[in-house]
Amino acid sequence: MKRYLILLLTGLLLAGCAASPVEDASTPPPSPPAEEDQSAFAPVTIPEPEPDPRQETIDDLLSTMTVEEKAGQLFFVRCPTVNAPELAAEYHLGGYLLFTQNFKNTLGDWLTAEEVTQAIQACQDASAIPMLIGADEEGGVVIRASRNPNLFEERCKSPQWLDKHQSTEYNVFARDSFEKNNNLLRFGINVNFAPVCDVSTDPNSFIYDRTLGKDAAATADYVAAVIRGSNGAQIGVGTVMKHFPGYGDNTDTHTGIAIDERPIETFRTSDFLPFQAGIEASDGTAAVLVSHNIVTCMDPDRPASLSPAVYDILREELGFYGPTLTDDLAMNAITKFAKKQEQSPAVLALAAGCDMVVTSEFQKEFSQVLTAIEEGILPPDRVDEAVSRVLGWKYDLGLLS
């Protein structure tokens, strides 16, 4: 028994020795753990953004402007028939809008092409910042320059007339816009207050004769073609899409307040479509003019041109961030409203989000805008935003180097 225990213990000891691995002297020792990769924490060099000549030009010019110069740039005014260059310099005006009388002399005779060109150039020479020079050359009912036979061989045709003579070989609206706006440029007119984007199919409505006279889809195609044609002009002619948010069949705001009670769905499925088409076709040379209609679904208390809600819809819903203009603030729809409010219509429009006011009474309105800036009624950020859009429009039209 004793012998058996000795043999058993000996066997267990031998088995334990066999279970222990024998270290091979030829096997290299394990490598130390790799050092942590530090490349992920190395500083990253962010390339400098490419310079934006357009923004640099705007910023540089804005930084040198006086309050009076900024205020003046917010005005696109009816051009006076006397002392136009002197008044442009005195009030630092952003633009002049020409009417039929600006193409005639004091005797009522039509000016020659050379005389028109010289008169416009005199205004530009008097202005420290190049001016926008505009005309309502819609064609048909509303024409200015083409009434003068010394400037155009014939009067510009209406959209409805052009539509009846549409060619299968080319888009007649684009071609008409290209030719008309190139001709305007010859005399120094760099903005055409067209196209009319309003949708109207009722021959009895006030705005009908100035429209295409067709539904929203057809009007949208027309507007896009006009914008594309204008963009093909020599250095670009500014266009003005009007009258946002859409005139509809409302009464004439030249003579009084017009109230539009249509639902917002009507605008989204119809009236907005031509403006959206024009915005998409524009390369930055288009502006939007806002009407004086009171559109109750957007703002029941204010005309559209004086309503922050309307400008918000144009910016946020339609995505338009270019310059906005009012219709003429001397129209009765606005003068009656502003009189009740006991406020300046120009100040109301600019505070609402407009960038340029169109008015015949710019001297009185200029002083009121200047006072509103000095008193903080028009905050500096709002003024600089509007002026920047005006300067950006001028840059895109080749007026600023």
Check which CATH number belongs to the domain holding 151 and give it.
3.20.20.300
pLDDT value of position 26 = 53
Residue in 358, 366, 279 with CA at minimum distance from that of residue 314: 279
pLDDT value of position 123 = 98
Q: Is the pLDDT assigned to residue 21 strictly greater than 50?
A: no
Q: Please tell me the distance from the alpha carbon of residue 312 to that of residue 298, in angstroms, as a whole number.
A: 10
Is the Cβ–Cβ distance between 389 and 323 less than 8 Å? yes
Predicted confidence band of residue 16 (pLDDT cuts 50, 70, 90): very low
Q: Please tell me the distance from the alpha carbon of residue 272 to that of residue 259, in angstroms, as a whole number.
A: 18
Q: Is the pLDDT assigned to residue 395 strictly greater than 80?
A: yes
**Choice between 83 and 14, residue whose per-residue pLDDT is larger:** 83
**Choice between 254 and 302, residue whose per-residue pLDDT is larger:** 302
- Distance set, CA 100 to CA 75, 80, 249, 319 (Å): 20, 11, 27, 35
Mind listing the pLDDT tens digit for each residue in 28-80? Answer: 555 555 555 555 566 777 777 788 999 999 999 999 999 999 999 999 999 99
> Residue 174 falls within a domain, yes or no?
yes
**Choice between 55 and 253, residue whose per-residue pLDDT is larger:** 55
**Choice between 321 and 233, residue whose per-residue pLDDT is larger:** 321
Note down the domain range covering 102.
52-396
Task: For residue 27, list its beta bridge partners.
Answer: none
> Residue 24 falls within a domain, yes or no?
no
What percentage of the chain exceeds 70 in pLDDT? 87
pLDDT value of position 235 = 59
Length of the chain equals 401
> Residue 31 falls within a domain, yes or no?
no
- How many CA atoms within 13 Å lie on the side-chain side of 75? 31
Average pLDDT, the chain: 89
- How many CA atoms within 13 Å lie on the side-chain side of 340? 9
Is the Cβ–Cβ distance between 367 and 378 less than 8 Å? no
Mind listing the pLDDT tens digit for each residue in 309-339? Answer: 999 999 999 999 999 999 999 888 788 888 8
pLDDT value of position 332 = 81
pLDDT value of position 42 = 65
What percentage of the chain exceeds 90 in pLDDT? 76
Q: Taking the model in full, what pTM does it have? A: 0.86
pLDDT value of position 5 = 41
> Residue 10 falls within a domain, yes or no?
no
> How many domains, in total, are found in the chain?
1
Least confident of 48-62, 97-111, 192-206: 48-62
Mind listing the pLDDT tens digit for each residue in 170-197? Answer: 899 999 999 999 999 999 999 999 999 9
Q: Is the pLDDT assigned to residue 396 strictly greater than 50?
A: yes
Q: Is the pLDDT assigned to residue 282 strictly greater than 50?
A: yes
> Residue 11 falls within a domain, yes or no?
no
Q: Please tell me the distance from the alpha carbon of residue 203 to that of residue 222, in angstroms, as a whole number.
A: 19
Mind listing the pLDDT tens digit for each residue in 352-361? Answer: 999 999 999 8
pLDDT value of position 353 = 98
